[in-house]
Every structure is written in structure tokens, then in C-alpha cells.
């Protein structure tokens, strides 16, 4: 699929699990730049590990303070109203 979003920058909140993580995988497959937020560092690291197992996934991932970022094209809010367990 070619959505025409290669090189665009997205923020996906709740992007370490569930629908948020599924969204991250789709965006990365389309060669978009994706900033992923999540509630815990552990879930973030697990998500990065899984993404790196996929073909064509860049190796660059790290923890950043999003308060100092700017210049994104879209924000995807993937936060759910789950049980709050992680």
C-alpha cells in the first residue's frame, strides 16, 4: 500500500500496545517518521525490540522529552481507556 506519507512525521500516543502499536507498525511500513509515546519505559523498549525484528525498520529509537520537539505533520491519539495496568 502506498499512502503517500513517506517522510512525513507523526506522533502516536499510546503507541506501545494495542491499536496504537498497530498504527505505528503501519506508519513505519509506509516509511513515515514516527515518534511513539507510552506510559512506561519497559513497554517502549518492548515495542522497539519488536519493530526492529521487522524488515525495513530503521534502528534509530530512543527516549526523548517530547516537550522540546516540534515540526510534526500529524498526531495520532491511540490512548485507550483500558484497565490502567500498563
Give the domain ranges of the chain.
1-59
Distances 46 to 2, 29, 52 between C-alpha atoms, Å = 27, 18, 10
Query: How many residues belong to the chain?
Result: 86
The cell for 45 is 523498549
Tell me the per-residue pLDDT of 55-64, one tens digit each, with 9 for 90 and over: 666 555 555 5
The C-alpha atoms of residue 23 and residue 17 are separated, in whole angstroms, by: 10
The C-alpha atoms of residue 72 and residue 84 are separated, in whole angstroms, by: 28
pLDDT at 86 over 50: no
Please state, rounded to an integer, the average pLDDT across all residues of the chain: 75
So what's the pLDDT on residue 65? 57
Terminal Cα distance for the chain, rounded: 32
Amino acid at each position: 500500500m502506498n499512502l503517500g506519507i513517506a517522510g512525513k512525521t507523526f506522533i502516536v500516543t499510546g503507541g506501545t500496545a494495542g491499536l496504537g502499536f498497530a498504527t505505528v507498525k503501519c506508519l513505519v511500513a509506509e516509511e513515515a517518521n514516527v515518534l511513539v509515546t507510552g506510559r512506561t519505559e519497559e513497554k517502549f523498549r518492548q515495542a522497539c525490540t519488536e519493530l526492529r525484528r521487522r524488515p525495513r525498520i530503521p534502528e534509530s529509537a530512543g527516549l526523548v522529552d517530547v516537550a522540546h520537539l516540534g515540526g510534526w505533520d500529524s498526531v495520532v491519539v491511540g490512548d485507550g481507556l483500558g484497565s490502567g495496568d500498563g
